[in-house]
Chain A
């Protein structure tokens, strides 16, 4: 009971993108079988909700782990601007060779968020729809 209290800051961001699940390593038939309707050559889209959790010291002068305005600017530059109202397959070089599943999207966003200078990213959780969500955390990434 005596361990320190830990505080995390959570922030949600919204973007809308299209994608198509298709692997160049599989035949047309296998792609159809594995990805089903997500393999539609014209793609389809989602309203993604990304939840980013950060940990760090709460600065006594500001009461904050990280300044929200700084975080919002960083997120905007790191992925929101690049992903929002785009095709993840066609417009995002990171997904040229990688299937833009939401699992891979979690890992990609986590990787980019690690560069945030003012706090530590604990986890990235993405809701692809109201019924599907995916999560990637520092524990997974660092094997703790």
Chain B
């Protein structure tokens, strides 16, 4: 039986993006992506929730120090994405459409190797309060909701 505890830290960042696939015609781009295809882009206030699973250390009572997690999120996510244009300024998203799905996956890939205490359980990225994507390792989605 696992005694894992799930802790979640939330951060917010603001970024611009647009959806455009250069392999599709202008018409197809408009049809598929609608107003998200505006060539001048648009922006969102993104909310990121990062959930870490692990057993609390018997001495500190912590899975990992939230200060440490805050620093990782600052370095890996805020500095890369806050007040940036996701299409042009984030190398990890180059060649990808910066949808919630793709950004959540990139954030997972950036964070996972940095989480050395506990393990990354879920990344949830809200583009708006009504639209979000979850990323996790297959089979690990049930807890921490």
B96 to chain A, nearest CB (A): 6
Given contacts A58-B105, A63-B101, A65-B101, contact A6 B138 (CB under 8 A): yes
User: Number of B interface residues, CB 8 Å?
Assistant: 32
Beta-carbon contacts under 8 Å, B81-122 to A:
96-102, 104-105, 108, 119
A59 to chain B, nearest CB (A): 9
Which residues on A sit within 8 Å (CB–CB) of B131?
10-12, 68
- Interface core residue of A6, A63, A64 (most chain B CB under 10 Å): A63
User: Number of A interface residues, CB 8 Å?
Assistant: 24
A10 to chain B, nearest CB (A): 4
Q: Does A99 contact B (CB under 8 A)?
A: no
Q: Does A1 contact B (CB under 8 A)?
A: yes
Beta-carbon contacts under 8 Å, B5-47 to A:
19, 21, 23-24, 32-34
The reply to whether A6 and B137 contact each other, CB–CB distance below 8 Å, is: yes
Which residues on B sit within 8 Å (CB–CB) of A12?
129-131
CA of A4 to CA of B108, assembled, Å: 12
The reply to whether B108 and A5 contact each other, CB–CB distance below 8 Å, is: yes
CA of A140 to CA of B102, assembled, Å: 28
Chain B: which residue is nearest A69 at the CB level?
B34
Which residues on B sit within 8 Å (CB–CB) of A5?
105, 108, 135-138
CA of A3 to CA of B32, assembled, Å: 31
Given contacts A12-B129, A63-B96, contact A7 B21 (CB under 8 A): no
Q: Does B74 contact A (CB under 8 A)?
A: no
The reply to whether B134 and A7 contact each other, CB–CB distance below 8 Å, is: yes
A3 to chain B, nearest CB (A): 5
The reply to whether B105 and A13 contact each other, CB–CB distance below 8 Å, is: no
The reply to whether A8 and B21 contact each other, CB–CB distance below 8 Å, is: no
The reply to whether B99 and A64 contact each other, CB–CB distance below 8 Å, is: yes
The reply to whether A3 and B102 contact each other, CB–CB distance below 8 Å, is: no
Beta-carbon contacts under 8 Å, B129-145 to A:
129-139, 141-142
Q: Does A29 contact B (CB under 8 A)?
A: no
CA of A62 to CA of B36, assembled, Å: 12
14 further contact pairs, Cβ within 8 A, besides A5-B137, A6-B138, A63-B96: A1-B119, A1-B137, A3-B138, A4-B137, A6-B141, A7-B133, A10-B133, A11-B130, A12-B129, A12-B131, A61-B24, A62-B19, A63-B101, A64-B101
Contact surface of B with A, Cβ cutoff 8 Å: 19, 21, 23-24, 32-34, 96-102, 104-105, 108, 119, 124, 129-139, 141-142
A-B contact pairs, 5 of them (CB 8 A): A5-B135, A5-B138, A11-B130, A58-B101, A62-B32
